Amino acid sequence: MSEAAIEISGLEKTYAGGKVALHGIDLTIPRGSIFGLLGPNGAGKSTTINILAGLVNKTGGKARIWGFDIDEHGRNAKRSIGVVPQEIIFDAFFTPFETLELQAGLFGIAKAQRRTMELLRAVRLEDKAHAYSRTLSGGMKRRLLVAKALVHNPPVLVLDEPTAGVDIELRALLWEYVRELNAGGTTVVLTTHYLEEAEALCDRIAIINHGRVVANADTRSLLADAGDKVLVVTLADELAAVPVGVPCKAAIDSSGRVLTLTYDKRSQNAGQILAHITAAGLQVVDVSTQDADLEDVFLKLTASA
């Protein structure tokens, strides 16, 4: 059996109107990981997820979920994945309790094996168990969708833009729960536009652009590859021009006292740059550094693709 949670090879999708959404995607998502799928609007993230969820038919390639080929073992593949969709959709006239019971019924889970209240407690909705879903706030609805995706206890949970429209406090709660699930062994795949969140949560990240994977690496090395680091030096006295011989890109602000130096951290370090500044006879009063973040990597990779 495959060791990966999800294995995608040469996945293609051309929609009925002729729009090519996926140009042959290869992706391996390790078991036990929190995997981030990032990309600009229209990149093909939802299409990929919807193919895995069985909501969209692929036009080429292969996909396996927990070792089950989605064509040959569709039923087992479907049982191995829970998907929290981007749009909030459920029947407003059911209560959260009924929504989860109904979903359990669809998966043929016997009453004795259902975890309805346990799930509602986990997403902090136990006090809304018997309220109409239409009376829930956006964040509560989102959490109900998470509970609904977990009804059949899948080893893989996929969240498509789960924090869209969720306030900061609830977002933190949702991420805490995602971390808890992952610690308990669930593989989590999420798409997000919040890059800091992907950076903080995901141990591996793939970036999709125009239906192609343009990066796929563990978060740390993706960031390490970003290369550039910025050193900001505040000087005691005004400078008219950047000192001669500074070994990197340098710019001075309009006050003449703040020098911004951009260097490649793979071949240089802040100490070397600072040594040049002091050797030029400048008096330093303050220093700070900034690492490239995922946003930089993202822009770099998507600009060229």
Ligand X SMILES: Nc1ncnc2c1ncn2[C@@H]1O[C@H](COP(=O)(O)OP(=O)(O)OP(=O)(O)O)[C@@H](O)[C@H]1O
Q: Nearer Cβ to ligand X, position 46 or 187?
A: 46
Q: Nearer Cβ to ligand X, position 47 or 116?
A: 47
- Sheet of strand 4-14, all strands in order from the earlier edge strand to the far edge: 20-30, 4-14, 60-65, 68-69
Q: Nearer Cβ to ligand X, position 49 or 123?
A: 49
Q: Nearer Cβ to ligand X, position 11 or 277?
A: 11
- Sheet of strand 156-160, all strands in order from the earlier edge strand to the far edge: 81-84, 156-160, 187-191, 34-38, 204-209, 212-218
CA atoms within a 13 Å half-sphere pointing along the CA-CB vector of 34: 20
Q: Kindly state the smallest distance separating residue 212's Cβ from ligand X, in Å.
A: 12
Q: Kindly state the smallest distance separating residue 9's Cβ from ligand X, in Å.
A: 18
AA identity, residue 117: M
Q: Nearer Cβ to ligand X, position 41 or 304?
A: 41
Q: Contact at 8 Å (CB) between 264 and 270?
A: no
CB atoms within 10 A of CB 266: 11
Give DSSP secondary structure letters for 29-67.
EETT-EEEEE--TTSSHHHHHHHHTTSS--SEEEEEETT
Q: 123 has which bridge partners? A: none
Q: Nearer Cβ to ligand X, position 33 or 46?
A: 46
Q: Which residues bind ligand X (CB under 6 A)?
A: 15, 17, 19, 21, 39, 41-47
Q: Kindly state the smallest distance separating residue 239's Cβ from ligand X, in Å.
A: 45
Rg (the chain; Cα; Å): 24
Residue 233's nearest CA partner among 263, 207, 205, 208 is: 263
Q: Kindly state the smallest distance separating residue 158's Cβ from ligand X, in Å.
A: 12
Q: Kindly state the smallest distance separating residue 106's Cβ from ligand X, in Å.
A: 24
Q: Kindly state the smallest distance separating residue 58's Cβ from ligand X, in Å.
A: 12
